[in-house]
Amino acid sequence: MAKGLLIVLSGPSGVGKGTVCTELRHRMPELVYSVSATTRQPRLGEENGVNYFFKSKEQFLEMIENDQFLEYAQYVDNFYGTPREFVEQTIQSGKDIILEIEVQGALKVKEKFPEGVFVFLLPPSIDVLKDRISGRGTENQATIDHRMSVAIDEINLLEYYDYAVVNDEIDQACKRIESIIIAEHCKVSN
């Protein structure tokens, strides 16, 4: 049985990673979504193993100690991470798995899983990205300026990725990513 692929989709905040990833999953129902582990409490309606793998802080720290994450981070008082075992089991079963993640996390994954397919989602322009971030209406100007500064720094890391896809229209961006997945499966090395 052929192994599956790990597809890592990342890009700056506001570029539309979540929207593109959701649309890809509708178009490619066989594509497995990487479920993260977290120490935060489940919200109403969330299921263990579907939305997240819910762990105690002690369990999570033990997983870190045993190198069981492709990447992890701490936000506020909670930990979040990508369990290595879930990703590897999915790939070994012949299924493709997609990981939607921020740029720093993607670079950590690349260190531990360089054979992954790393796709950087770009905005059509910096102005469009700024409009998308401001259009949320949830941040003040200082936060918007900070997000834009971080976004430019992240775009400068593009050289560490295998592919760049401009998210000008969701349909077109998804078609390009589907084409990348098809091409990766046709590689002689795969």
* Bridge partners for 80 per DSSP: 38, 73
In the chain, what are the domain boundaries? 6-186
Q: Are 119 and 80 in contact (CB under 8 A)?
A: no
What pLDDT, on a 0 to 100 scale, did the predictor assign at position 76?
A: 75
Query: pTM of the full predicted structure?
Result: 0.88
> In 3-state terms, what secondary structure has residue 32?
strand
The single-letter DSSP state of residue 41 is P
Complete edge-to-edge strand list for the sheet that includes strand 97-100:
32-33, 97-100, 6-10, 117-122, 163-166
* Beta strand pairing call for 78-83 and 69-75: antiparallel
What pLDDT, on a 0 to 100 scale, did the predictor assign at position 190?
A: 67
> How many whole angstroms separate alpha carbon 55 and alpha carbon 79?
9
> How many whole angstroms separate alpha carbon 129 and alpha carbon 121?
11
What pLDDT, on a 0 to 100 scale, did the predictor assign at position 65?
A: 97
> How many whole angstroms separate alpha carbon 127 and alpha carbon 102?
20
What pLDDT, on a 0 to 100 scale, did the predictor assign at position 55?
A: 97
Q: Are 35 and 49 in contact (CB under 8 A)?
A: yes
Superfamily of domain 6-186: P-loop containing nucleotide triphosphate hydrolases (3.40.50.300)
* Tens of pLDDT, residue by residue, the chain (190 residues): 689 999 999 999 889 998 999 999 999 999 999 999 999 999 889 999 888 999 999 999 999 999 999 999 887 789 999 999 999 999 999 999 999 998 988 999 999 999 999 999 999 999 998 888 887 667 788 888 888 898 999 999 999 999 999 999 999 999 999 999 999 999 887 6
* Helix H or strand E encompassing 91: helix 84-92
